Amino acid sequence: MDVMPAWTLDQIAGLAFGGVMLAFVLSARQVDIAVAKAQRRQLGLCEECGGVFEPGTCQQKSCPAKRGGQSG
C-alpha cells in the first residue's frame, strides 16, 4: 500500500487561510446589511428602504418617515 505523505506546514496554513477567506465571503452580505442599517439609523432614515420609498408605501412598521408623517 502507498502511504499518504504527511501534511506540510504550508499546506495546513493554506487550508486555514482558505477556510477563513470562505467564511469572510459567506458573511460579507450580513456584515454589509448590518453596517447599512446602522448608518441609516444614525442618519434618521428608514432602516429597510433608506428613505427611497414614500412613507405610506414603506413596509417597515417602525419607519421614521411614517412616524414623522403621522405626528405632523
Q: Evaluate whether 40 touches 46 at the Cβ level (below 8 Å).
A: yes
What's residue 68's pLDDT?
59
Q: Evaluate whether 65 touches 53 at the Cβ level (below 8 Å).
A: no
Q: For residue 54, report the phi and psi dihedrals to the nearest 5 degrees.
A: -70, 150
Q: Evaluate whether 37 touches 47 at the Cβ level (below 8 Å).
A: yes
- pTM equals 0.57
Q: Exposed, middle or buried by CB within 10 Å (0-12, 13-18, 19+), for 53?
A: middle
More confidently predicted of 63 and 10: 10
pLDDT digits (tens, 9 = 90+) for 14-68: 999 999 999 999 999 999 999 998 998 888 887 777 777 676 777 777 676 666 5
What's residue 69's pLDDT?
52
**What residue ranges do the domains of the chain occupy?**
26-71
